[in-house]
Chain A
Amino acid sequence: MRSAQIDFGVYLAKKVGAALVSFVFLLIVGYVIFSVMPSNPLEALTRGRPTSAGQIAFLRQQLGLNEPEWERFVHFVWNTLHGNLGYSWQFQEPVSTLIEQRLWPTLLLMGSSTIISIWLGMWLGIRSGWRPGSILDRVSSGVSLGFWSVPTFWLGLILLVLFGVGFGPIPALFPVGGMSTPGSAGGFDVSHIVDVLRHLVLPCLTLVLVIFAQYVTIMRSSIIDELGSPYLLTARAKGLRDVEVRRKHVVPNACCPRSPSSSCSSAAWSAARSRWRPSTRGPAWATSPTRRWRSPTCPCWRERSSCSAPP
């Protein structure tokens, strides 16, 4: 027991040490890159504005530009370690405050677009892969890869024109600027929430259209890889409906070995929703004597790492 504790302590110390080394390395690289970049903060701040020598001297002192480089680096490290990420002259606020103010809108936009992309991509990918060459497969693959190759900002502008301004018979449906209607009260009342959702539609749609293709492609190829597996034949022979074979056996086995973690997380989410049950027979890799998957409760993505596999 004591030995295990010591082992863990050594392990922890190694990990923490490695993290510290990485952190220090990042601090140095971050500082050096910005130091060697051709920039003159004083020039950038004062160009075009009447500025006296006294004002320049004051700014120089305020920005710490009169300090030697090593001293500035020490201040930078010290401030970073104390959670002081600097001060934005553009917004005249601490950087940490700016990050904090923008965290929720970022989470809302990126979270919603990522979840929708994963769901939509997997939904289409599963069906496309199940019937490769079908109309749905050709359309979804073509459309998703088409959007994937489109620059996000350009697609955003097109959607702005189509649904924000209106074009031909399409009227203006969604607002084009801001996160909510300027001057609205805010808070958590229904009208404000709906207002935020209205403002979310176009940016979220833009991101979804551009990124859902990766989930379609990955899921489609994984499903296709599973199509020739013998356990499908077994399942069908036992009289399972086609849709059950796909949902309960192919999808769980297709998602794990090849998908990125986000897809797997999504698969787990889907699994929970659809009350996954174990497949009649595992996928090819699971048929090896040491990796048989029979646990009725173990989600597939954990099987390789920690789930026990009782015979």
Chain B
Amino acid sequence: MTLRLLAPVLFLAAACVLAASPAVAVASSSSSGSGSTLRIEADTAFGTFNPFTAYNQADLNEIAVIYPMLTQTGENGQPEPYLATAWSISPDHLTWTFKIRSGLKWTDGVPITARDVAWTYNLIMTNQAAGTANGSLVQNFASVSAPNATTFVVRTKQPQSNVPYLTNMIAIVPEHIWQNDVTDIGTFKNMNFPIVGYGPWIGAGYSTTNQDATLTANPSYYLGAPKFRTLIVQYFTSSDAAVAALRSGELDSIDDLTPTQYGALKGDKNIALYASQSNSWNAIELNPGARTLSGQKFGNGSPLLQVPVIRQAIALAINRSELVSKVADGLAVTGAGFLTPAFPQWWWTPSASESDAYDPARANRLLDAAGYTMGPGGVRVDPKTHQQLSFRLGIHSDNGYDSLIAPYLEEWLQAVGIKITVQAMSYTELNTELPKGDWDILMDTWSTDYDPSYLLSIESCGTLPPNLSTPGNTDAFYCNPAYDTLYNQQLTEFSLPQRTQTVDQMQSILYAANVDIILYYPDTLQAVRTDEAKNFFFGTKNEQGFYPQQNQWINWWSATPVAAAASSSSTGAYIGVAVAVVVVLGGGGFFMMRRRSTAGERE
């Protein structure tokens, strides 16, 4: 009986020992050997590798390294040559001419020409399904053409200064491969491996069950092949599991750590931590009055928030620096302008006279002067309507930082006589309430790309909903004709200093409006295993210790394997196996002795 009953136990233990054995681990792992494979955590789940329909960040990151763009964003955040070696604009600012690099070939050996570029752009402009992802980028394009193999011409309807920025977001595909897939382009997933493209990597495989994509280095890449032979990008549904994978050596890099995870990884000798300047912000948005393009008002937002002095008092009552230290563990920059510090050319900070930095005394003075007297419970009252200055604050119930920030806001605003009632809503619910205008104050977060046009556009009048049944792209129902004039002006300014000046003016207007009160810009926190990869990061730290915003395309291409050293982990694994064997044998022995001692009783 003993052996029969013990057999399953021993079998399970043996299976565990076998599964944990380093010999098996090495035999079954194609990527555990250092120097051949770079393993990265994917930002999101994968959906498709079709560049015409992809919008998951993981898809976009992969597409960016297997297909070429006309331009690319360099280390300084400016458009630089890629498929196009140079570009120029006509005197009327309506025609852009791109010179296409010659001698490049798709991975199947067919030459890359301007015809591929024109075909791709034409498809996006003329086929609705193909325009799913990037249709809005070419809205102002009147026509595109390829007069010869090395020239690509874009004719715009109106002058547009950010065309070289837009062209680094549109992947060029080989016409001879894709022309057969046009009919079902909306559902085509582009998962016939290896994928014919051109870039530092070649799409080589995708595992549905593992949620990982495998890419191999392209030896004929014009800047030189990547130093790693294989790149694996794997999605982890739990970021904590990804951190565990990094620590165990299953991943070589993670891009988006939380401050807590960042702190927990400090002290690991094999992991280097990097904080790079943020391309996103966390803010609260105040409802200045929901309305349609034609001015029809809707929603149940408090009319008191339409009063600029109340919005300014709210801004003055918030201690943004304390949020940086208490909520973001110091790994953030105090909020100010609408655009983020990741891109220095667009980074704006208010002057001393403009600043609405933390000053509750001034907030109280402003509200007193405006006649909002303190009422029962320490809440101010509107002298005309006798309404309390009491507002709802919608937070994302699925975002831990919102819950951390909300109590601070309650306390600070209470100190100036404004009552806040926190309403936790799911991301979906909050985003559903937003276009209906049924809110007072909402937590808000946005990130931006190298070109700020889109982020600036969401505060323009043109993004207000056209009617009550169609949502617009507006962020907070803000509408200011002076701002719109500047927005349209910056789109047609072709000199960077001139455009920067205009964008600064726009940010100044937004800052004074206090419709979006930027709380802080959270750093992008990354970690890299130094025993696996070097040269992963680029740029020099600034005085705050933050690296420039990283471009994953460059990170993955420049990463260099570290020469494999004698691994201590295998020693550890052998120790583990020994421990497991001792436990199993010891447990079995104990059990046998126990059985023997009670044999008489059983008989």
Contact = CB atoms under 8 A, between A and B. Distances in A.
A201 B556 CA distance: 32
B105 interface: no
A12 interface: no
B248 A176 contact: yes
A198 B498 CA distance: 60
A241 B601 CA distance: 9
Nearest to A157: B240
B429 A184 contact: no
B214 interface: yes
Contacts of A105: 209
Interface string B15-31: 11011100011011111
Interface stretch (B229-237, B383-391, B489-497): B229-237
Interface in B26-53: 27-32, 37, 39, 45-48, 50, 53
A209 to B, nearest CB: 13
B55 interface: yes
A171 B428 contact: no
Interface residues of B, number: 85
Contacts of A181: 28-32
Central interface residue in A52, A123, A173, by most chain B CB within 10 Å: A173
Interface in B44-85: 45-48, 50, 53, 55-56
Nearest to B18: A194
A197 B446 contact: no
A176 B579 CA distance: 20
Interface in A10-55: 38-40, 42-44, 46-55
Contacts of B480: none
Kindly state the interface size class of chain A when it binds its partner: 35 or more
Contacts of B30: 181-185
Contacts of A184: 28-30
A90 interface: yes
Interface string B92-133: 000000000000000000000000000000000000110110
Interface in A182-237: 182-185, 191-192, 194-195, 197-198, 201
B269 interface: no
Contacts of B48: 92
Contact of B28 (A38, A191, A241): A191
A181 B207 CA distance: 10
B433 interface: yes
Contacts of A198: 19-20, 24-25, 28
A197 B136 contact: no
B55 A178 contact: no
Given A166-B572, A172-B572, A38 B432 contact: yes
Contacts of B428: 38-39, 44
Contacts of B53: 92
A178 B575 CA distance: 25
A241 B186 CA distance: 72
B185 to A, nearest CB: 12
A6 B381 CA distance: 79
Contacts of A160: 240-241, 244
A92 B24 contact: no
A172 B466 CA distance: 58
B435 interface: yes
B176 interface: no
A195 B135 contact: no
Contacts of B211: 178
B315 to A, nearest CB: 24
Given A55-B132, A58-B129, A91-B45, 8 more contacts: A39-B428, A44-B431, A49-B136, A50-B137, A53-B466, A171-B573, A171-B576, A195-B24
15 contacts: A43-B431, A91-B47, A93-B189, A102-B208, A102-B209, A104-B209, A160-B241, A160-B244, A166-B572, A177-B236, A177-B244, A178-B211, A180-B210, A182-B232, A197-B15
Interface of A: 38-40, 42-44, 46-56, 58-59, 62, 90-93, 101-102, 104-105, 116, 119, 123, 153, 157, 160-161, 164-166, 169-185, 191-192, 194-195, 197-198, 201, 241-243
